[in-house]
């Protein structure tokens, strides 16, 4: 009884040093409609695979230049060739070679001598499973591509809807004042009207400039074209600077900003400007959604292997079903407070990109009506870790040179 192969011509690589047996296997498979290539050594087999990926490999264990299970292990270790089914050909009494082949990742084995019918059945069975697996992989890849396209479409729609709305407000202000001034051209009252409108027009232009800059920053971050400029950075100083630049916003809302710092410096190598930008977005959000007269706490800690930065507010909070989406670009929470405050929804997405570029992550905890906490975790680089270990060794030597047990203040420093 002939075993019918699948409709598509399938490529099988036969790796066998016995030329007569190799030709016999090739003849049997060729008669069934398979395309067969041959190799007599392990290195020749690897070259054939590199030239064109086969659908299946028949691999003898005893090759003149290298063991078959070594060839098998090498192919299974590579992403490109990992899924190719391999049938190990062993001697009838070689249980040890059989197990080594299976441990190396072989999918099946045949003991020589074998019947032609057994060979064809094993080949047919493995090829069927292989192509079923490939079909599932291709279907999953297609699903991922479709979801990515749908996400891109939703992102585009969000971009158009939000940006057009945010652009319209300052443009309306500018258009209105320019129309007013145009109607007063040549009249004695024009100068007085111009004087009263300059502040509003400047504010509208600043709003437009901020929006455009935010869009450009996110575009550059998400496309990966920005390179981090890592320099020694002291985080308490960084945080104080960001808070100082947003002091006007805190005063406007009557919000009290408090620092939660250790006594010792908190240092590592990082991009000062980018981390200041990320922290600015977090603090700006905390102030924006705080109640009048509320409190915001900003702190940092040195945990040896990583640096922690925390921004905590007592504001409106974030609904649980929206907490996982707040870092998505152009996402705006459904709460009325969010809509009232405006914005294009890129601040947190930008902050996440910056932190991720430093190898860290950013997390949020929140309860509606009780406020939110954002935690940035930044891992140290190897050079930073060596510096910390060196400081710890110096501190240990200094401590051992003093008599008596450490004071309460020293114990508190060690905890930090």
Fold of 11-114: Rossmann fold (3.40.50)
| pLDDT of 386 above 60 | no
- Sequence-distant contacts of 174-179: CB under 8 A, at least 24 apart: 174/201, 174/204, 174/205, 177/201
Stated pTM of the model: 0.47
Q: Which position has the token pair 């290195």? A: 43
pLDDT at position 54 is 92
335 pLDDT tier (thresholds 50, 70, 90): very low
Q: Which position has the token pair 């099988």? A: 12
Closest CA to 286 of 327, 256, 307: 256
| pLDDT of 183 above 70 | no
Mean pLDDT on 53-80: 89
- Which residues are CB-neighbours of 204 under 8 A, at least 6 positions away? 169, 170, 171, 173, 174
HEC secondary structure over 254-288: CCEEEEECCCCCCEEEECHHHHHHHHHHHHHHHHH
Tell me which of 28-42, 185-199, 382-396 is least confident.
382-396
- Which residues are CB-neighbours of 56 under 8 A, at least 6 positions away? 10, 11, 12, 13, 84, 85, 86, 87, 123, 126, 127, 130
Mean pLDDT on 16-23: 90
Q: Which position has the token pair 């009263």? A: 196
pLDDT at position 108 is 86
Residues in the chain: 416
pLDDT at position 128 is 84
| pLDDT of 406 above 50 | no
pLDDT at position 201 is 67
Rounded to an integer, what distance in angstroms lies between the CA atom of residue 344 and that of residue 163? 6
Fold of 231-415: Heat Shock Protein 90 (3.30.565)
The answer to whether 279 touches 239, Cβ cutoff 8 Å, is yes
240 pLDDT tier (thresholds 50, 70, 90): very high
Percentage of the chain modeled with pLDDT above 70: 66
- Determine the 3-state secondary structure of 362 from DSSP: strand
**What residues does 267 pair with on adjacent strands?**
234
Q: Average pLDDT of the chain?
A: 77
pLDDT at position 338 is 46
pLDDT at position 336 is 39
Q: Select the more confidently predicted residue: 225 or 271.
A: 271
118 pLDDT tier (thresholds 50, 70, 90): confident
Mean pLDDT on 147-169: 60
CA 198, distance to chain mean position in Å, is 45
pLDDT at position 62 is 86
Q: Select the more confidently predicted residue: 5 or 138.
A: 138
| pLDDT of 387 above 70 | no
| pLDDT of 11 above 50 | yes
Q: Select the more confidently predicted residue: 158 or 338.
A: 158
pLDDT at position 337 is 44
Mean pLDDT on 51-80: 89
Mean pLDDT on 363-380: 90
pLDDT at position 339 is 46
Domain-wise residue ranges, the chain = 11-114, 152-223, 231-415
Ordered alpha helix ranges (H), 294-363: 336-341, 347-357
DSSP state of 67: B
Q: Select the more confidently predicted residue: 220 or 186.
A: 220
Q: Select the more confidently predicted residue: 176 or 352.
A: 352
- Sequence-distant contacts of 407-415: CB under 8 A, at least 24 apart: 412/263, 413/262, 413/263, 413/264
The answer to whether 90 touches 109, Cβ cutoff 8 Å, is yes
Percentage of the chain modeled with pLDDT above 90: 25
Q: Select the more confidently predicted residue: 40 or 169.
A: 40
As a whole number of angstroms, the longest Cα–Cα distance in the chain is: 111
Alpha-carbon dihedral angle through residues 103, 106, 112, 117, given to the nearest 10 degrees: 140
Q: Select the more confidently predicted residue: 222 or 88.
A: 88
| Residues 152-223, CATH architecture | Orthogonal Bundle (1.10)
């Amino acid at each position: 009884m002939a075993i019918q192969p699948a409709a598509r011509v399938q490529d099988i690589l036969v790796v066998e040093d016995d030329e007569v047996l190799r030709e016999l296997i090739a003849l049997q498979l060729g008669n069934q409609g398979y395309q067969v290539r041959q190799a007599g050594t392990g290195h020749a087999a690897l070259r054939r695979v590199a030239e064109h990926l086969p659908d299946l490999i028949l691999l003898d264990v005893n090759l003149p230049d290298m063991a078959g299970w070594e060839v098998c292990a090498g192919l299974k270790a590579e992403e490109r060739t990992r899924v190719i089914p391999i049938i190990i050909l062993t001697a009838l009494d070689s249980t040890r070679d059989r197990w080594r082949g299976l441990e190396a990742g072989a999918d099946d084995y045949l003991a020589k001598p074998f019947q032609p019918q057994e060979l064809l059945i094993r080949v047919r069975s493995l090829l069927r499973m292989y192509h079923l697996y490939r079909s599932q992989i291709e279907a999953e890849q297609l699903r991922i591509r479709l979801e990515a396209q749908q996400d891109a479409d939703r992102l585009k729609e969000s971009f158009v809807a939000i940006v057009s709305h945010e652009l319209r407000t300052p443009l309306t202000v500018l258009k209105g004042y320019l129309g007013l001034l145009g109607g007063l051209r040549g009249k004695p009252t024009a100068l007085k009207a111009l004087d009263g409108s300059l502040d509003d027009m400047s504010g509208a232009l600043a709003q437009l400039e901020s929006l455009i800059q935010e869009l450009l920053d996110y575009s550059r971050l998400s496309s990966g074209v920005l390179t981090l400029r890592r320099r020694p950075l002291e985080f308490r100083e960084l945080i104080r600077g960001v808070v100082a630049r947003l002091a006007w916003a805190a005063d406007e809302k009557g919000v009290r900003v408090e620092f939660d710092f250790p006594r010792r410096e908190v240092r590592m190598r990082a991009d000062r400007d980018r981390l200041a930008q990320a922290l600015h977005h977090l603090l700006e959000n905390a102030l924006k959604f705080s109640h009048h007269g509320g409190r915001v706490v900003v702190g940092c800690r040195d945990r040896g292997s990583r640096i922690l930065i925390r921004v905590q507010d007592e504001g409106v909070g974030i609904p649980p079903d929206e907490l996982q989406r707040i870092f998505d670009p152009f996402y705006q929470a459904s709460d009325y407070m969010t809509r009232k405050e405006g914005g294009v929804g890129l601040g947190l997405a930008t902050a996440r990109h910056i932190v991720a570029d430093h190898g860290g992550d950013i997390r949020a905890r929140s309860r509606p009506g009780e406020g939110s906490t954002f935690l940035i975790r930044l891992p140290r680089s190897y050079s930073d870790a060596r510096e910390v270990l060196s400081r710890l060794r110096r501190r240990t030597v200094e401590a051992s040179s003093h008599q008596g047990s450490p004071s309460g203040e020293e114990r508190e420093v060690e905890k930090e």
